[in-house]
């Protein structure tokens, strides 16, 4: 069963684990798995993998001992063997064992590059969360490492494996039903930016804050930093553009077979919420230009969404119709015709535990399962998965360049072949941030 048929069958209500493809995975060998980053999405990703394939989670790593112990307890109870995984506070010690077939990485963004490169060096195939990096050259080094060591690396841009999103791509984009698409709007209007301004304090005793900070700039500990709300600070990520735009831009690139944009520009700032401690923008627009196509991003963390039915998604404008796609469904409207609506696919009958799992984004669970199955198939075939590390690099770097454009105050024209800006020394220098000692920035030539 090919992947397109597989997703179509899934979106029509067929059970993923009853497909021939998934059955073959179930009957295969038990893969040895480790997780680096045992917080919110680390556990979500790992449990979805446990649901769809015979795996044994043998190692967990986190710099928060309390979070690590909780994950070991939960995962031990969830896996078939009921064995409690080994635990580590340093991912390098875990990877030195060289006994893992698969490593999942769900740390804060500033740790993705170093952990992923060490994991492929250890001989593991890797599932790394998006955005893959916090600067462009980290991403370039990650692609180089995956290729050098011959490892399969899937990026957690699971929109590419979401059943209703794949269905909309086939029915309305690839079929030509939309006609010529010359404009795409991508957007997020969630009120997701931290609005508190708590005082700095000493880190809790269960957190190794020195290791948590790693190569990022050292700043005083604040409860917003850990857990989860670290995304409020550019020291550890790329703001809402890096967190949310990367998904919709990557989905759009997949829909329309796009590579690098030819130019990127962005403006924005903190226009409304000036009292919070967060340093990321609360308002930002960005444009990604391609030949005969403009993709425009907008986020606001205040006010109402332009379309309350689609607060985080993409709108594709064709000369024959319009398609609105988000994580909860899609709406296709032909010119002068009636709107066709489709809701997200849930799988509660197959996976009743999804109803009660703590902190699970329930609408995303099926997409992650299919994304994991695609990853496993690529491992078996030693092929590139649908969200290969190079695709994650292009989508991530494009978002990073949008932020750079905003800070520089000018458009960045991009040379896709050389993977650098055209004639802009300041923008070129901004492709790599300085690491905090003793951590060393990875370079493509030295991985």
> Helix, strand or coil for residue 188?
strand
Region 3-160+376-389: CATH code: 3.40.50.720
Report the distance separating Cα 354 and Cα 358, nearest Å.
9
Q: Where are the domains of the chain?
A: 3-160+376-389, 162-346+391-446
Res. 426 pLDDT band, cuts 50 70 90: confident
Report the distance separating Cα 336 and Cα 333, nearest Å.
8
pLDDT digits (tens, 9 = 90+) for 113-165: 999 999 999 999 999 999 999 999 999 999 999 999 999 999 999 999 999 99
How many Cα atoms occupy the beta-carbon half-sphere of 300 within 13 Å? 9
- Residue 62 near residue 72, CB atoms below 8 Å: no
Q: What crossing angle do the helices spanning 40-52 and 365-381 adopt, rounded to 10°? A: 60
Q: What crossing angle do the helices spanning 136-148 and 112-121 adopt, rounded to 10°? A: 10
- Residue 42 near residue 70, CB atoms below 8 Å: no
| pLDDT value for 20 | 44
* H-type alpha helices, 57-208: 65-78, 91-96, 112-121, 136-148, 163-168
Average pLDDT over the chain, rounded to an integer? 94
Sign of CA dihedral 207, 114, 394, 384: negative
- Residue 312 near residue 190, CB atoms below 8 Å: yes
pLDDT digits (tens, 9 = 90+) for 197-221: 999 999 999 999 999 999 999 999 9
Token pair 């390098």 in the structure block, residue: 92
Instruction: Find the largest Cα–Cα distance for the chain.
Output: 63
- The mean pLDDT value for 371-395 works out to 98
In this structure, the strands spanning 412-415 and 263-269 are antiparallel
Q: Element (H or E) spanning 337, and its range?
A: none
Report the distance separating Cα 436 and Cα 441, nearest Å.
9
pLDDT digits (tens, 9 = 90+) for 293-350: 999 999 999 999 999 999 999 999 999 999 999 999 999 999 999 999 999 999 999 9
| pTM (predicted TM-score) | 0.94
Report the distance separating Cα 161 and Cα 251, nearest Å.
10
Q: What torsion, rounded to 10 degrees, do the Cα atoms 413, 426, 406, 250 define?
A: 50
Quick one: CATH architecture of 162-346+391-446? 2-Layer Sandwich (3.30)
Q: How far is CA 261 from CA 2, 147, 307, 389, in A?
A: 30, 23, 27, 18
The pLDDT of residue 7 is above 60:
no
Enter the DSSP assignment of 443. Answer: -
The pLDDT of residue 50 is above 70:
yes
How many Cα atoms occupy the beta-carbon half-sphere of 164 within 13 Å? 20
């Amino acid at each position: 069963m090919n992947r397109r048929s597989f997703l179509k069958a899934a979106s029509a209500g067929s059970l993923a684990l009853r497909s021939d493809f998934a059955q073959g995975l179930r009957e295969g060998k038990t893969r040895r798995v480790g997780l680096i980053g045992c917080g919110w999405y680390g556990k979500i990703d790992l449990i979805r993998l446990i649901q769809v394939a015979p795996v044994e989670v043998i190692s967990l790593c986190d710099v928060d001992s309390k979070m690590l112990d909780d994950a070991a307890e939960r995962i031990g109870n969830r896996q078939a063997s009921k064995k409690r995984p080994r635990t580590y506070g340093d991912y390098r010690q875990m990877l030195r064992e060289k006994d893992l077939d698969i490593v999942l990485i769900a740390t804060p963004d500033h740790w993705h590059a170093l952990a992923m490169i060490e994991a492929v060096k250890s001989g593991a195939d890797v599932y790394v969360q998006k955005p893959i990096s916090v600067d462009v050259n980290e991403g370039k080094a990650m692609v180089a490492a995956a290729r050098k060591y011959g490892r399969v690396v899937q990026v957690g841009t699971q929109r590419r494996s979401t059943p209703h999103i794949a269905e909309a791509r086939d029915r309305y984009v690839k079929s030509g039903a939309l006609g010529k698409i010359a404009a795409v709007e991508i957007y997020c209007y969630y009120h997701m930016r931290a609005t508190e301004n708590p005082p700095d304090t000493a880190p809790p005793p269960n957190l190794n804050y020195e290791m948590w900070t790693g190569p990022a700039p050292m700043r005083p500990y604040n409860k917003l930093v850990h857990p989860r709300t670290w995304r409020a600070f550019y020291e550890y990520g790329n703001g809402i553009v890096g967190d949310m735009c990367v998904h919709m831009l990557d989905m759009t690139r997949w829909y329309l077979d796009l590579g690098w944009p030819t130019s990127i520009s962005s403006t924005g700032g903190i226009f409304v919420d000036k009292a919070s401690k967060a340093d990321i923008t609360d308002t930002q627009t960005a444009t990604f230009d391609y030949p005969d196509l403009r993709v425009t991003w907008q986020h606001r963390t205040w006010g109402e969404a332009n379309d309350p039915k689609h607060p985080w998604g993409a709108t594709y404008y064709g000369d024959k119709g319009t398609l609105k796609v988000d994580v909860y469904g899609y709406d296709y409207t032909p010119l002068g015709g009636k709107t066709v609506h489709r809701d997200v696919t849930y799988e509660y009958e197959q996976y009743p535990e999804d109803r009660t799992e703590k902190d699970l984004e329930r609408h995303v669970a099926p997409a992650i399962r299919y994304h994991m199955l695609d990853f496993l198939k690529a491992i078996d075939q030693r092929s590139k998965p649908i969200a290969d590390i190079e695709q994650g690099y292009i989508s991530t770097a494009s978002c990073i360049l949008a932020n750079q454009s905003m800070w520089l105050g000018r458009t960045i024209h991009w040379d896709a072949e050389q993977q650098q800006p055209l004639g802009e020394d300041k923008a070129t220098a901004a492709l790599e941030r300085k690491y905090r000692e003793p951590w060393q920035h990875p370079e493509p030539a030295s991985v």
